[in-house]
Structure 1
Amino acid sequence: MSASRPSPEATAAPGRRVLGVDSGGSGLRIALGTADAAAPVATAVCGAPVRTGPAGIDAGHLLEQLLPAVRSLLARSGAGEDAGLDTVAIGAAGMATLGERLRTELPAALEQALGVRRLALAADAVTAYAGAVGQRPGAVVAAGTGMITLGTDLTDWRRADGWGHLLGDCGGGAWIGRAGLDAALRAHDGRRGGSAALLSRLEAVFGPAPGLPALLYPRTDRPAVLASFAPEVAACAGHDPVAEGILREAAAHIAEAAAAVCPAAGADGEPCEVALTGGLFRMGDPLLVPLREELSRQVPQARAVPGSGDPLTGALSIARALAVGNLRLPLHPTLLRVAGEEPGQGSV
């Protein structure tokens, strides 16, 4: 594979095939495209999430799913399943901390199997950024079950939170759901800060309150179970001050993380765009109204905007930019690595 970032002069020929991959909790999503067109030619979904073990993300398991799916996409596109690929960008949840096997094993494997010349390996927060903001300075809030913010001035990356439901993800779905269940159990016990409305919703969703620990603690998907209660908090927020307060506190946490990563306003005074992406924001106004208020207070140089694309869109856009030598997003050893390059450390 190329050992250096392609120059602008070394642009890809029209129609050269590129691939974007998004690996997350719901499995692999794959988009085949060309270097000179924004829209994908064909897409595929592999249902099984890539395994993670003591050695990190399992590169072999990813390849077991990816290679047959790519060959099928190539055949469907008319290129033939034996056709090669110019450039691939893979975004993966856990890439920053658990991606060493991917960085070590995938370059040679993809070159041998598909003729891949250029490979970018990115954290899913980076592909979320590329999909939502593009290759401009700004910041992204990626919020679903968890919550992470990422920002760049195109010199380096800054990251805040994303530490998981036990250590952080403050303001994310699991955080909101847990706070709502806490308020419900306080009402059950007669403790201060309880919410009868949320207790009623707990019982409707999970059954009698005393049975909740037995339902929750043995589960391996506890963050998702906690996050499943977040919409109940949002539904109660219009008439329950405790639920409203939980969402206001969540908004404050999210804005605080955005403030930590958002670059300063440009010399022309243009505000920093903060793209809001992820399923959490489908809650709508109960969360978005206090979040906009908090962003205005904590990050006055910011302007909140909806994300223009998702992480799969971002992975495909990174592959296209790399193919034509126009990748402007900063490289980083674990957040965005191009095979064969030695990126600077950045400040994350």
Structure 2
Amino acid sequence: MNHSSAYMPGPVVAIDGGGTRCRLALRGRGADIVVELGSANVTTDFDAAISEISRGLELLSARAGIALDKLASLPAYVGLAGVAGPSVAEKVAEALPFSHIRVEDDRPSALVGALGARDGVVAHCGTGSFLAAQINKDQRFAGGWGPVLGDPASAQWVGRRGLTLALDAVDGLRGHSAYSQHVLDKLSGAAGIVQFASTARPADFGALAPAITAYAAEGDAIALQVVREAANSIAELLPILGWKSGMAICLTGGIAPQYASYLPHDMQSCVTAPAGEPLSGALSLAQAFSEEIANEHL
């Protein structure tokens, strides 16, 4: 008997957690049940991330009308920002109550969610960022190493870069713009910017990004420079991952869609709406994990 034909899909749990929000879903035979909470980045704050996920499981249990121990017995796929290697994945798995669990970083969920089975590339820019390609069923990832070592074009990078250029204007290295005046007023001058940056978390920098993309749309010189630098960093790396003209480009996450009009023309014409969200990708990966478990027991 073919293994795949013997597989009977059962309920699964999927978790997608990033620097801004964490979403948990139960997929059974009816409609998916979803709960949404705050940040869950296991590198930024492991204990807080696990606490948030645990709270989410309690909410999911209550909303689904399923006891928590029953929920924990289901196959679970967990894709989290900050899972930088097997040791972190193992630590997450041990901290959660599931008996069958697969823990990875948040990139595979986003890639599968956006592209489905299509060939293409994903530029995912939320609080953090990464690039990914799916070509002839091969997956390749770049970035996602966090705000200190990477995350170009992420919302936190955009917010932070905007502050740097505003301080350049204070030093007379470039002219002031409406955006630099806005952020200097907002944060009480150069000293206020330095004070803010000394304690700001990635999400705090990211919260500054919407103003930058809005000012860029109005032609503000400093804001435009930030957004163009971000778009250029994406445009330079996609061909290295295997993108070729005509291949789908999905811009996912809170800020990435803002870059579409700043990409080279051959890339602009390939920008396509994602097939689904990272959570839908996590659910697909949870179902594949469930099938693996079922096949192991045949």
The two structures have a TM-score, normalised by structure 1, of: 0.70
- Paired residue secondary structure (2:124): strand
One-letter identity of the residue aligned with 1:101: K
Please, which of 179, 186, 198 is the counterpart of residue 217 of structure 1? 198
**Structure 2 counterpart of 1:110, from 95, 98, 104:** 98
2 CA distance for matches of 1:143 and 1:48?
Answer: 15
* CA deviation after TM superposition for structure 1 residue 235, in Å: 2.5
2:161 and 2:57 map into 1 onto residues whose CA distance is 42
Residue 173 of structure 1, CA deviation: 1.7
Matches within 5 A, 1:282-297: 284=258, 287-291=259-263, 293=265, 295=267
Unaligned runs of 5+ in 1: 1-5, 266-270, 297-301, 326-337, 342-348
**CA-CA distance at 1:126 after TM superposition:** 0.9
* Residue among 247, 253, 273 paired with 1:272: 247
Report whether the alignment pairs 1:93 with 2:95: no
Matched, 1:239 2:219: yes
Amino acid at match of 2:81: A
Which stretch of structure 1 is more off in the superposition, 198-207 or 66-75? 66-75
Distance 1:145 1:64, change over 3 A: closer
Following superposition, the deviation at residue 121 of structure 1 comes to 2.4
Give the 5 Å matches for 1:150-161: 150-153=132-135, 155-161=137-143
Structure showing greater relative contact order (alpha-carbon pairs closer than 8 Å, 6 or more residues apart): 1
Q: Identify unmatched segments of 5+ residues in structure 2.
A: none
User: Is 1:57–1:99's contact at 8 Å kept on the other side of the alignment?
Assistant: no
Cα distance 1:81–1:135, how it changes in 2: closer, same or farther (>3 A)? Answer: same
Residue of structure 2 aligned with 1:68, choices 54, 58, 63: 58
Indicate conservation of the 8 Å contact 2:40/2:81, yes or no: no
CA change 1:68–1:173 in 2 (3 A) is closer
Cα 1:48/1:177, change in 2 over 3 Å: closer
Q: Deviations over 1:9-55 (max 9, x none)?
A: 23215xx2122112233454211112x67x51x2223457476589x
- Once the two structures are TM-superposed, the CA of residue 224 in structure 1 deviates from its matched residue by 2.5
Aligned partners of 1:172, 1:74: CA distance in 2, in Å? 34
Task: Tell me which residue corresponds to 2:209.
Answer: 230
SS at match of 2:255: helix
Q: Is the 8 A contact 2:19 2:203 kept in 1?
A: no
Other-structure match for 2:239: 259
Q: Which of 175, 179, 197 is 2:178 aligned to?
A: 197
Higher helix share: 2
Call closer, same or farther: CA 1:153–1:44 in 2, change over 3 Å: same
Length, aligned pairs only: 291
Alpha-carbon spacing, 1:245–1:82, altered in 2? closer, same or farther (3 Å): closer
Matches within 5 A, 1:22-41: 22-26=16-20, 28-34=22-28, 39-40=31-32
- The letter for the 1-side match of 2:176 is S
Partners of 1:198 and 1:233 within 8 A in 2: yes
- For 1:82 and 1:174, how far apart are their aligned partners in 2? 38
CA 198–263 in structure 1, closer or farther in 2 if over 3 Å, else same? closer
* 1:176 Cα deviation from its structure 2 partner: 2.0
Residue in structure 2 matched with residue 299 of structure 1 by the alignment: none
Contact 1:138/1:273 (<8 A) preserved: yes
Once structures 1 and 2 are overlaid, which stretch shifts more, 58-67 or 83-92?
58-67
Distance in 2 (CA, whole Å) between partners of 1:175 and 1:83 is 41
| Residue of structure 1 equivalent to 2:286 | 319
In structure 2, the residue matched to 1:208 is: 189
Residue in 1 that maps onto 2:272? 305
Matched, 1:44 2:35: yes
Aligned to 1:332: none
Cα shift at 1:256: 2.0
TM-score w.r.t. structure 2 length? 0.81
Deviation per CA, 1:82-111, whole angstroms, max 9, x where unpaired?
A: 6465532111111233323135x379x422
Please list the CA deviations of residues 249-290 of structure 1 after superposition, one character each: whole Å capped at 9, or x if unmatched: 21110122322324558xxxxx322211100036x4xx3211
Instruction: State the secondary structure of the residue aligned to 1:129.
Output: helix
What RMSD over aligned residues (CA atoms) do the two structures have, in Å?
Answer: 3.5
